[in-house]
Amino acid sequence: MKKSIFGLLVILSMIAVACGGSSLEGEEVFITGALVGNDAAGFQENFDSFTEETGIIVSFQGSDNFEQEIQIQMESGDTPDIALFPQPGGVVDAAQRGYLVALEDLGVDLDDYKANFSEYIVGLGTVDGVAYGGAHAFNLKSIVWYQPAEFEARGYSVPETWDEMIALADQIVSEGMNPFCFGMYSNGASGWLATDWMEDIMLRTGEGTVTYDKWVSHEIPFNDPVVKNAATLLSQIMHTDGYVVGGTDAIVSTYFGNAQDPMFEKDANGNPGCFMHRQASFITSFWPEAAQAGAGTETTVFPFPAMDDGLPKAALGGGDMFAVFTEGDEAVNAVVEYMLSDNFFAAAAQRPDNSRIYGHVQFDSSLYSKDITRVLADAITGALAENAFRFDASDLMPPEVGAGSFWKEMMNLAVEGPGYVDTALDNIEKSWP
Amino acid sequence: MTRNNQRWYDKPITKLILVAIALTWIFPIFGFLLSSFRPPEAIKRTSWWEAIYTGEYWRELTLQNYSEVFFAENLDRSFYNSLAITIPSTIIPITIAAFAAYAFAFMEFKGKNFLFMMIVASMIIPLQMSLIPLVQLFKSGIEFGGITLIPALDINGTFVATWFAHTGFGLPLATFLLRDFMMGLPKSVIESAKIDGASNMTTFLKLVAPLSISGIAAFATFQFLWVYNDFLVANVFLGVYKPENLVVTSHMSQIVVGLFGEAWHLRLSGAVISMIVPLIVFFSLQRFFIRGLIGGAVKG
């Protein structure tokens, strides 16, 4: 749309203006992103009603090489109108290099946007005080998977606090079973599951999001007492005898995608291998096929339990953000306005195959076609409303730490045991650039 | 021909080895051709040789994979795009290379060897390394000391950009091959033309170009297949964010990949369908490979 060798669009729009009709009829807006297959088809469908109303043709073309291709497209000057980045980092990078158009210049009401998604989310796509990134879908990590039927049969209740969870775990151990599934092997990225645990604990201890943000930006050292407390609590889960199915060996050697399998396998007495598994919402696609059918019903989630008193219900997660390359185009502006409106998210949530979670706080979450998505979405919007939703800390820390020493030392901690907590944190602190 | 002066490549043992190599080469293609007619679950369940052995192959025969790919949305557009890239990207470099090859083969000028060396040397540069600089060149041109050497064409995302790119990437090899081919033409023919007073242009157009037709056709086939099967260059220069800009290769990968590569059974039929065009091209140009044209040239 930015450029057409035949100037076709220019002529078209001139004719349209001359006729005084709806000047956006037939305009094309191109969006690209990392979604492919059904996700891409679903994303495209979200625009059906919009196209009917405005006549603007929105075309989405996803690619599994999106992150490389968008780099080339930015260099070539032949960019799509809108790109849907799988990480806010992509938006920030493109904005710093001067390729993006600020949301304000597209006619977005920033106050509305902040009210709908929280100051924190808007801040993730902001460079030098100018907002570039538009919030889209989110995923949630602060959840624990469990099977309600197994809990009911044994008279367990869903733990709402950390202490209740520990008490429940002790009870399960005393009854001769293992409470937790925990596997964090992930090839070159092994250890990220433990960093997720740490982040969830950090969000719920000390001063909550305040200490979390300081921790991410290194305003408090990595071996601060708050962080040490979090690591000690994590070590309690990893190293208490009987807590994790398979013990420490299983933690470091089990592929994260298979970690939950014991929950679906019953032993001779009809007991599952584990009862609780803390893992992000995407894990369902790694489950055995039979288990996938029961996602949200047979196997569902409870929020990661609260810890210190007086802190809001926090949520840890990640998300997509879109950014705009084309300036001064009415059709693009209209699409952007639609993509940030509750109408768009309502249309997206209602699609029967939708499993993406949207963070807009203004739309009715009962519209979600799947129960599990609604539960997750409520957790996210609840946290957003209290400004207690945070992105994965290890993604925001410098790569030397967030994708290096933090992962590595968490693996070491799992192997070495509780006595290693201080060494691990000191080592990570030393590696901070 | 008597048995004594039988060449090494005519010996039965050589033929046996050649047949063995050819069969090894064909075996996987044969396998996926057979598999492409099987339902997706069956492909994942058993191997095709097992299926043929047990007979279930013939019972389950289906065209489902083909119809799924063949009737994919906009596939016709992608075929059109592929041809719109491939045909000019074959003709342009060959035309330029034929003139250049004539000069290198039959004309004397200063620095000829050095220039030819540079052309051969440029074949060594990996295509992948020059993609981004080329993209930037197409966007902003080249300015040197305040003088615009190449204007900012801003042609990225158009077919012209892919033609230029493929021309650039194909030229060195084309020049090299055609020069070698022309050097092999009988010198006496060209010399007699010179004696008759033909200019270089006349010699090239009337004599060398027609005589080189088999060499040109051979390279045209190479270039056509390479450009048609290309995925990278098209994706870089043709802004793949537009659905109407997909070429056959990128379209196939879109259909086939799915979200987690779950639609890989379509890869089989997709490959067969996208092979149709190269096969047509190959078999229709094949007759030019027969180098009978030169045989009687000198007698005339």
CB contact under 8 A, A73 and B241: yes
Distance CA B131, CA B241 (A): 18
Q: Which residues of A touch B138 (CB under 8 A)?
A: 76
Q: Write down the pLDDT at residue B186.
A: 85
Q: Which residues, in sequence order, are bridge partners of residue A186?
A: A188
Range in A152-156, A264-268, B82-86 with the lowest mean pLDDT: A264-268
For range A62-84, the mean pLDDT:
88
Q: Identify which of A383-397, B92-106, B141-155 has the greatest average pLDDT.
A: B92-106
Closest to A256 measured CA to CA, from A238, A277, A231, A236: A277
Per-residue DSSP letters for chain B?
A: --STT--GGGSHHHHHHHHHHHHHHHHHHHHHHHHTTS-HHHHHHS-HHHHHHHTHHHHH---HHHHHHHTSTTHHHHHHHHHHHHHHHHHHHHHHHHHHHHHHHH---TTHHHHHHHHHHHTSS-HHHHHHHHHHHHHH-EEETTEEEE-----TTSHHHHHHHHHHHHHHHHHHHHHHHHHTS-HHHHHHHHHTT--HHHIIIIIIHHHTHHHHHHHHHHHHHHHHH--HHHHHHTTTTSGGG--HHHHHHHHHHTTTSTTTHHHHHHHHHHHHHHHHHHHHHGGGGS--SSTTTTT-
Q: What is the mean pLDDT of residues A287-294?
A: 83
Name residues 221-240 of chain A within 8 A of B (Cβ): none
Q: Give the tokens for residue A109.
A: 């009401």
Count CB neighbours of A8 within 10 A. Answer: 9
**Amino acid of residue A393:** A
Beta carbons of B240 and A61 less than 8 Å apart:
yes
Asked if residue A22 has pLDDT above 80, the reply is no
Query: Could you give the C-alpha distances from B202 to A53, B119, B207, B209, in angstroms and in order?
Result: 65, 25, 7, 10
Q: Which two tokens stand for residue B51?
A: 């299926």
Query: What pLDDT is stored for residue A21 in this prediction?
Result: 45
Q: Which of B225, B211, B245 is nearest to B102 (CA)?
A: B211
pLDDT at B293: 42
Q: Which two tokens stand for residue B235?
A: 């994706």
Other residues' Cβ atoms within 10 Å of the Cβ of residue A367: 17
* Averaged pLDDT for residues A157-161: 93
Closest chain A residue by Cα to residue B138 = A76
Indicate the fold that domain B72-289 takes in CATH: MetI-like fold (1.10.3720)
Contacts of B240 in chain A (CB under 8 A): 32, 61, 63, 69
Write down the domain spans for chain B: 1-65, 72-289
Burial B104-135 (b: 16+ CB within 10 A, else e): bbbeeeeeeeeebeebeebeeeeeeeebeebb
What is the band of B40 on the pLDDT scale with cuts at 50, 70, 90? confident
Q: pLDDT tens across B233-247, in order?
A: 998 898 888 888 888
Chain B residues 198-257 with a CB less than 8 Å from chain A: 235-237, 239-243, 246, 254, 257
- Residue B51 CB-density burial (10 A; 0-12 exposed, 13-18 middle, 19+ buried): buried
B280 Cβ partners below 8 Å, 6+ apart? Answer: none
Helices and strands (H and E) in chain A: how many = 22, 13
Judged by a CB distance cut-off of 8 A, whether residue A3 touches chain B is yes
The whole-number average pLDDT for the span A142-159 is 93
How far CA B132 is from CA of A358, A369, B136, in Å, comes to 36, 44, 6
Give the integer Cα–Cα distance in Å for A157 and A164: 9
Comparing CB atoms, the residue among B154, B240, B257 nearest residue A69 is B240
Mean of per-residue pLDDT scores for chain A: 87
Residue A328 reports pLDDT greater than 90: no
Give me the residue from B131, B139, B241 closest to A32, CB to CB. B241
Q: Please report the pLDDT score of residue A319 as a whole number.
A: 84
Residues in A closer than 8 angstroms to B136, CB to CB, are: 75-76
Cα A263 to Cα A182: distance, rounded to the nearest angstrom = 11
pLDDT of residue A87: 82
pTM: 0.75
| Residue predicted with more confidence, B5 or B155 | B155
Residues contacting B273, CB < 8 A, separation 6+: B66, B69, B70, B252
Cβ–Cβ gap A5/B236 under 8 Å: no
Q: What is the model's pLDDT at position B298?
A: 44
Give residue A38's pLDDT band: very low, low, confident or very high (50, 70, 90): confident
Q: Is the pLDDT of residue A269 over 90?
A: no
The Cα of B248 is separated from the nearest Cα of chain A by a number of Å equal to: 15
Report the pLDDT averaged over residues A209-224: 92
Residue of chain B whose alpha carbon sits nearest to that of A61:
B241
B72 touches chain A (CB under 8 A): no
Residue A128: pLDDT band with limits 50, 70, 90 = very high
Q: In this structure, are residues B251 and B74 in contact, taking their beta carbons and an 8 Å threshold?
A: yes
Name, in order, each residue with C-beta under 8 angstroms of A27's C-beta and a sequence gap of 6 or more: A1, A9, A13, A55, A56, A57, A329, A330, A331
User: What pLDDT sits at residue B258?
Assistant: 56
Structural contact between residues A139 and A319, judged by C-beta atoms closer than 8 angstroms: yes
Calpha distance B245→B79 (Å, rounded): 11
**Of the listed ranges A18-22, A196-200, A246-250, B289-293, the one predicted with least confidence:** A18-22
Nearest to B259 among A31, A39, A63 (CB): A39
- What is the rounded CA–CA span in Å between residue A7 and residue A9? 6
pLDDT at A6: 45
Closest partner CB to B240 (pick from A3, A39, A63): A63
Contact partners, residue B174, CB within 8 Å, separation at least 6: B93, B94, B96, B97, B101, B219, B223
pLDDT at A13 over 50: no
Q: For residue A326, what is the DSSP state? A: -
**Residue with the two structure tokens 């004696």:** B195
Q: Is B164 in CB contact (< 8 Å) with chain A?
A: no
Spatial neighbors of B162 by CB under 8 A, at least 6 apart, are B85, B89, B233, B234, B237, B238
The pair of structure tokens assigned to B239 is 């802004």
Sign of CA dihedral B291, B293, B296, B298: negative
Domains of chain A: 26-139+317-387 (3.40.190.10), 143-313+397-431 (3.40.190.10)
Residue in A75, A292, A356 to test binding to B, most B beta-carbons within 10 Å: A75
Cβ atoms of A291 and A299 within 8 Å: the answer is: yes
Share of chain A above pLDDT 70, in %: 95
Whether A69 contacts chain B with CB within 8 A: yes
| Strands of A143-146's sheet in order across | A180-181, A276-278, A143-146, A300-303
* CB-based contact, B143 to chain A, within 8 Å: no
Q: What is the ipTM of this complex?
A: 0.73
Q: Classify the phi-psi angles of A341: left when phi > 0, otherwise alpha if psi is within -120 to 50, otherwise beta.
A: beta
Q: If you compute the radius of gyration of chain A from its CA atoms, what whole number of angstroms results? A: 23
- pLDDT reading at B199 higher than 60: yes
Q: φ, ψ for residue B196 (rounded to 5)? A: -70, -5
| Per-residue pLDDT at A212 exceeds 90 | yes
Q: What is the DSSP secondary-structure string of A54-83? A: H-PEEEEEE-TTHHHHHHHHHHHT---SEE
Judge whether B260 is closer than 8 Å to chain A, CB to CB. yes
Please give the interface size between A and B, counted as residue pairs whose CB atoms are below 8 Å apart. 71
Residue A403 binned pLDDT confidence (cut-offs 50, 70, 90): confident
> Cβ–Cβ contacts within 10 Å for residue A378, how many?
16
The predicted structure's pLDDT at residue B262: 61
pLDDT at A58 over 90: yes
For residue A174, pLDDT beyond 90: yes
Q: What is the pLDDT of residue A159?
A: 94
